Amino acid sequence: MKRIEISISYCKVEEKELSEEDRALLDAARKATYRSYSPYSGFSVGAAVLLDDGTVVEGSNQENCSYPQGQCAERTALFYAGSRYPDRKILTICIAARGTDGAFTSSPISPCGGCRQVLLESEVRQKTPIGILLCGTDAIYRIDSARDLLPISFDNSYL
Ligand SMILES: [Zn+2]
């Protein structure tokens, strides 16, 4: 029998437990939600990626009337970071969302399976873990590695 353990630390935004750097990243992710193109779902997601030189890259979900052609906020930001700054390492990605009522979600927003796979590839590519902040107004989850979000994952070690 194999036991898989996932470590997730948790903090409340109101307690100001976020570092100044993480707080700035949260603000960037929240601002990115306002650049979402989500006329079909009404669910506006923003992602902010912090690179090792201090650059912050933002992305938002971009929907399409042909639904599968849309793109999640996380992948928009990760692919932009990879194409614009291929030699920089990603330190942290922060994700926030607003629902159909326009308010930020109270529960932390979590990346879909496809984005988890892309996060993992980014981590494998740069050979260092990526911190992940899943943000809601009631709570924020900090996860230390993309691998924790995708246990028993498929990666390039199979190829
Ligand atoms: Zn996604």
Count the domains in the chain.
1
Q: State in Å: Cα 118 to ligand 1 middle.
A: 9
Q: State in Å: Cα 54 to ligand 1 middle.
A: 24
In a domain, 79, yes or no: yes
Measured in whole angstroms, the distance separating CA 58 from the mean position of its chain's CA atoms is 10
The amino acid at residue 94 is C
Query: How large is the average pLDDT for residues 122-144?
Result: 93
Percent with pLDDT over 90 in the chain = 75
Q: What is the CATH number of the domain that holds 100?
A: 3.40.140.10
Query: What are the tokens at 22?
Result: 């993480």
Cβ atoms of residues 118 and 82 within 8 Å:
no
Q: State in Å: Cα 80 to ligand 1 middle.
A: 15
Binned at pLDDT 50, 70 and 90, residue 158 comes out as confident
Cα(29)–Cα(56) distance, rounded to whole angstroms? 10
CA pseudo-torsion sign 62, 63, 69, 71: positive
Domain that holds residue 16: 11-149
Q: State in Å: Cα 110 to ligand 1 middle.
A: 9
In a domain, 113, yes or no: yes
Helix ranges restricted to H, the chain: 20-33, 73-84, 113-126, 146-149
Q: Any idea which residues carry the catalytic annotation? A: 74
In a domain, 5, yes or no: no
Q: What is the pLDDT of residues 13-59, one digit of tens each?
A: 554 688 999 999 999 999 999 999 999 999 999 999 999 999 999 99
